[in-house]
Amino acid sequence: MFKQVKSAVFWYYLFKFRKRVISIVLLLVIALFAGVIYGDVVQYLKLTNNLQYLQIALISKWLIVIFNIVFSIYLLLTIFKKDELVQEKKKDTIFKKNKVKNLDEDKKDEKFTQREKEFLYKKKIRSKADLLVDR
């Protein structure tokens, strides 16, 4: 039973944050490919005896790897903060909507004419049937 709950929670969050998870996986794959491509570039530079470019290749490889790893960590850390920000924005919009509704209701109350106000505050409301019965 616990495995089913754990699996359900895992798949729920995976589906909910699928865009972020996909981008993190792609960044890590790019970091791995940077290492493979670096190995090929080093072999090519050794074969052509252009060892002066080896330093540039090494620096570019590590820049790509470090950038991808740091950006992946940033995406992981901000997954749940985004959800909190969305909830705060929803609360703000709900508060603003309620405030607008209250203002609209106040304006509606002021739109009554004098005759409508007399009718609303009349203590005893009589219909035409009541008037006919009284005669």
Ranked by mean pLDDT, the top range of 17-26, 57-66, 79-88 is 57-66
The model's pLDDT over 8-54, given as tens digits with 9 standing for 90+, comes to 888 888 788 888 888 888 888 888 888 888 888 888 888 898 888 88
Give dist(CA 79, CA 22) in Å, integer.
Answer: 13
The model's pLDDT over 106-127, given as tens digits with 9 standing for 90+, comes to 555 566 777 777 777 776 767 7
Give the pLDDT score at 132: 81
Find out whether 28 and 68 touch, Cβ atoms under 8 Å: yes
Residue 54: other Cβ atoms inside 10 A: 14
Give dist(CA 36, CA 68) in Å, integer.
Answer: 15
On the question of pLDDT at 131 being above 80, the answer is no
Give the pLDDT score at 114: 77
Nearest alpha carbon to residue 42 among 34, 51, 33: 51
When pLDDT is averaged across residues 89-115 and rounded to a whole number, the result is: 66
Nearest alpha carbon to residue 20 among 67, 110, 80, 93: 80
Give dist(CA 6, CA 124) in Å, integer.
Answer: 66
Give the pLDDT score at 94: 73
